[in-house]
Chains A and B, each alone.
Chain A
């Protein structure tokens, strides 16, 4: 087993700075993952050449693969760094920031676009206030709820956008994550009240028609969310909406 952990990190001091590679070596211990390695390195910020450097900047929070913060490219694959175990990775371990978002610094990127997308598609259930109205939501079958649960675990990590050949920071495509949320909310008995609004947003430039059916999103999703099924369903919903707009209105 390796005596040390060898990491190559793509660094960048700021949004407009030039990127560069820096290598680090640290003593091997079993049980490390990519975030715990970064934690060690910020405590011992010395590169492989023995030079003292500024600690690497990255984002992480829950460390249990539910918050979505620590997504980065690990050995070529976008994933949650906290769940990337050193013992299961080939060394040197190569860490890069996600490429589809503006770089903040080093491995930290600005994923605001993902939250803007959720806002644009009205990814919420309309309620008349948080007061108790002494009623539950309408009935939902366990089967449908199980499917909805798959979608509602989307943690906005951005891996699906990273691998999508149609998504890039300067283009309009909204990306698979938000499409999954439209699927989720359209299928709720009251969430569906906004269905038409959401579909109309998806029928604008950058909406569902900009999906290229590469289907990478569904393969990379760390939560196995059936994103392509959502896209198929929304294809049908927008088809029907389009025909309604054409012939019913």
Chain B
């Protein structure tokens, strides 16, 4: 605010735009991606064949790497890095002023850190584990026994890093809860920031709706995790893998 300051830096010059972009990215595409990701994962309920089919659809998208980089990795990196910068500005005081909204403020930042850590674990776990030779290459997942389904449940159940399944469940449950909270509370702060809701009443209504969404997503996600983590790999039939390939109409040559 000091007018006597020298010419502002590029970051300062675009301060407002950066913050608004940060706020937007949290919803689109990151939030949407989260919903989509959980949606896809939840097909695990329907059995290996559905799961493999849906994941396969995504997996077989053309220019997948570009899509991932442009619409997931970069937005996530931007949101995460600027988010940490923003979170570092906070001087938490929820112990002194224990209002619910103040707790939400603090939790929004705490869950941000947790989510970042979880995403790192999650990525290492399924995306880059082969770098360390502890799991198969994600790119070849559909060749794994049981296809994507088999690959996914193996991540939970193979005692990776010497961790038993229940630990992985807990890690994923915490990560999921953090991400869901951050997203749903983020919907509220997004709406305030952009001026979509203004008054106390509308903010309360929105908070309730976002809370309901959060509970739904959490339950939904936990059940998915539990399903994936506890299914017996032996029950997966080759059938399910077949089912997947059968649905791939325009599969590139050699993909099966």
CB within 8 Å of B: which residues of A?
76, 116-117, 120, 163, 165-166, 168, 171-174, 201, 203-207, 209-216, 218-220, 226, 228-229, 231-240, 242
Contact = CB atoms under 8 A, between A and B. Distances in A.
Given A204-B1, A205-B12, A209-B19, A165 B203 contact: no
Contact of B89 (A171, A204, A233): A171
Contacts of B199: 226, 229, 232
B188 to A, nearest CB: 8
A206 B16 CA distance: 9
A165 B16 contact: no
A163 B15 contact: no
A232 B97 contact: no
Contacts of A210: 19, 89
Contacts of A236: 194-196, 198
Interface in B164-195: 188-189, 192-195
Given A166-B90, A235-B195, A76 B105 contact: no
B189 A213 contact: yes
A204 B16 contact: yes
A30 B132 CA distance: 74
Contact of A201 (B1, B86, B92): B1
Interface string B56-96: 00000000000000000000000000000010011111001
B97 A163 contact: yes
Given A120-B1, A209-B20, A214-B105, A226 B200 contact: yes
B256 interface: no
B102 interface: yes
A212 B23 CA distance: 11
A23 B28 CA distance: 56
Contacts of A229: 198-200
B203 A228 contact: yes
21 contacts: A165-B93, A166-B89, A166-B90, A203-B16, A204-B8, A204-B16, A205-B8, A205-B15, A210-B19, A214-B101, A214-B104, A216-B93, A218-B200, A232-B192, A232-B195, A234-B195, A235-B192, A236-B195, A236-B196, A242-B16, A242-B20
Contacts of A209: 15-16, 19-20, 193
Interface residues of B, number: 35
A238 B16 contact: yes
Contacts of B17: 242
A228 B1 contact: no
Nearest to A76: B96
Contacts of A120: 1, 3
Given A165-B91, A207-B1, 6 more contacts: A204-B1, A213-B193, A214-B105, A228-B192, A228-B200, A235-B192
Interface string B98-128: 0101101110000000000000000000000
B200 A174 contact: no
B198 A216 contact: no
A165 B102 CA distance: 9
Contacts of B15: 203-205, 207, 209
B1 A172 contact: yes
The 3 closest A-B pairs by CB, nearest first: A236-B195, A214-B105, A232-B198
Nearest to B194: A239
Contacts of A201: 1
B82 to A, nearest CB: 11
B197 interface: yes
Given A206-B1, A209-B15, A163 B105 contact: no
